[in-house]
Amino acid sequence: MKILLATEKPFAAQAVLEIKEIVADAGYDFVVLEKYTGKAQLLAAVKDVDGIIIRSDIIDEEVMAAAPQLKIVIRAGAGYDNVSLDAATQRGICVMNTPGQNANAVAELALGLMVFAIRNFYDGSSGTELLGKRLGIHAYGNVGRNVARIAKGFGMEVYAYDAFCPAEVIEKDGVKPLSSAEELYSACQYVSLHIPATAETKNSINLALLERLPSKAMLINTARKEVINEAELEKFLEIRPDFKYLTDITPGNDAVLKEKFPKRYFSTPKKMGAQTAEANINAGLAAARQMASFFQSGDERFRVNGKG
């Protein structure tokens, strides 16, 4: 049995060492493909593997076709929009994620971006504070819950909207549940995005929604690029000089936004949310354990695709 760790954006060295130990203890061979620069390298690396552990690496039909022995793909992280689920189901390949394992890291970055923005990107001018301000959490999953916990430490008034999370669950955390995205954007000066990229959510953060934001608003995106309607975001930045957008996922119109709105727009150079030693170890080791458990006992607890 051969397991591949394929990470264009590498894990911390300690995480790789510990993943290797778990895979070796289970009696499997372990190979690592890090920082690859083209799909050809990935296609070559998968040709004789039984399982793959990835991050945001794209596992599509072509990659699966190049891996005739492949039985399982584990996304060491939360979002699995980078894996073609239907193709995996058709080929009898199990796809899993490791929910929650990197959530604190992403949540800390979201709050960090907020502080960076309200202190005017640390340019030396006088800024504002988070204490007493309203934060809207758009989707209350593992990251959203951690954002709520940290934001309450800052003394923020926290609201959340999640189409799939019952209001009682949100309320139990001392967070006020709202019944629509429209209500959330109307009520909160700060909004932190945590929706996945799905057919329903793609382009859903549009001008009509953004126009609801109160004055001096800020949108923080540590979720996905695809959920933003980028042309309408640019328009909103134009018509609302009090609005700031900070993102951990570089948009298609990054160069334009940087040039036009240098004091109100910021994008990390590479997706950094889950890029901590702790998150790498948590997610990487969870993936390795899930892999061993799948092969040893058929455990499919974290499966995200259909069985066909």
Nearer to ligand 3PG, 6 or 150 (CB): 6
Residue 29 CA to residue 64 CA, distance in Å, equals 19
Residue 11 CA to residue 234 CA, distance in Å, equals 33
Which residue number places its CB atom closest to ligand 3PG?
Answer: 77
Shortest distance, position 55 Cβ to ligand 3PG, whole Å: 3
- Candidate residues 133, 145, 264, 271; the one interacting with ligand 3PG per rule CB under 6 A: 271
- Is residue 67 near ligand 3PG by the rule CB under 6 A? no
Nearest of 279, 240, 276 to residue 260 by alpha carbon: 240
Stretch that binds ligand 3PG, among 73-81, 88-96, 205-213, 294-302 (CB under 6 A): 73-81
Nearer to ligand 3PG, 104 or 189 (CB): 104
Binding mask 26-55 for ligand 3PG (x = CB under 6 A): -----------------------------x
- Is residue 78 near ligand 3PG by the rule CB under 6 A? yes
- Is residue 145 near ligand 3PG by the rule CB under 6 A? no
Count, in order, helices (H) and strands (E) of the chain. Answer: 12, 12
- Is residue 102 near ligand 3PG by the rule CB under 6 A? yes
Q: Where are the beta strands (DSSP E) in the chain?
A: 2-7, 29-34, 51-54, 72-75, 94-97, 134-138, 157-161, 176-177, 190-193, 218-221, 244-247, 265-267
Q: Which residues are CB-neighbours of 28 under 8 A, at least 6 positions away?
A: 1, 2, 3, 50, 51, 292, 295
Nearer to ligand 3PG, 95 or 213 (CB): 95
Tell me the β-bridge partners of 221: 193, 247
- Is residue 4 near ligand 3PG by the rule CB under 6 A? no
Shortest distance, position 8 Cβ to ligand 3PG, whole Å: 8
Helix/strand/coil (H/E/C) assignment for every residue in 26-93: CCCEEEEEECCCCHHHHHHHCCCCCEEEECCCCECHHHHHCCCCCCEEEECCCCCCCECHHHHHHCCC
Binding mask 231-270 for ligand 3PG (x = CB under 6 A): ----------------------------------------
Q: How many residues bind ligand 3PG (CB under 6 A)?
A: 11
Residue 209 CA to residue 189 CA, distance in Å, equals 13
Stretch that binds ligand 3PG, among 76-84, 148-156, 172-180, 226-234 (CB under 6 A): 76-84
- Is residue 56 near ligand 3PG by the rule CB under 6 A? yes
- Is residue 194 near ligand 3PG by the rule CB under 6 A? no
Nearer to ligand 3PG, 46 or 195 (CB): 195
Three-state DSSP at 292 gives helix
What element of type H or E holds 132? none
- Candidate residues 53, 67, 79, 237; the one interacting with ligand 3PG per rule CB under 6 A: 79
Stretch that binds ligand 3PG, among 62-70, 71-79, 148-156, 238-246 (CB under 6 A): 71-79
Q: Which DSSP letter does residue 121 get?
A: G
Q: Which DSSP letter does residue 11 get?
A: P
